[in-house]
Amino acid sequence: MVERNSVTRKNNLGTDLSSVLTPKLVCFLECSRKKEALEKMIDCLCANSEIRNRNELAEGIFHREELMSTGIGMGVAVPHVRLASIKKPVMCAAVCRNPITDYESLDGAPVRLIFMIVAGKDQHAQYLRLLSSISSKLKNEKLRNALISASDAETFCQILSGKDK
């Protein structure tokens, strides 16, 4: 149990998710379509982080989705992009109260959790650590279910960071 908690707080690459995800960057969405969910997350990032060029972010995210869906399976999607204008990595998370059925996930399952990662062009290592950290954590079904059931953004962040114990 202790090992799980230490892994939850920090993965073996040293990525502390609380440095890139704060409660103001957690959304609870009622929509049921992929495009609408991503648009709302882009709006959240632009309103609550240092990202100011909404068009650049939207173009990057939707271009990435055209290449291949970021629905990784198990009800999780991790849309991600690197942009020249970004100074430090940031992440937005969404709990989809209505499953997103048109996400085209690898396993065909509807998406309930979305983690949008944005990093600078020169932040390759940090970017990969964030992607790896989220992917590793969310293999845990109990964690995924706890995040989906979170009543508010503060609770969501505590669960994700392992500080809910």
**Rounded average pLDDT over 12-41:** 87
Angle of the 124-137 helix axis to the 2-9 helix axis, nearest 10: 140
Domain assignment present for 3 = no
Per DSSP, helices labelled H in the chain are 2-9, 34-48, 54-67, 124-137, 141-149, 153-161
Whether residue 8 is contained in a domain is answered as: no
Is residue 12 pLDDT above 80, yes or no? no
Calculate mean pLDDT across residues 113-132: 93
Residue 142 sits in a domain of what CATH number? Answer: 3.40.930.10
Give the residue numbers spanning the domain of 143.
14-161
162: confidence class by pLDDT, cuts 50, 70, 90: confident
Q: Model's pTM, two decimal places? A: 0.88
Count structural domains, the chain.
1
Q: Is 9 contained in some domain?
A: no
pLDDT higher than threshold 60 for residue 13: no
DSSP character string of 10-23: --TT---GGGT--G
Kindly state whether residue 6 falls inside one of the protein's structural domains.
no
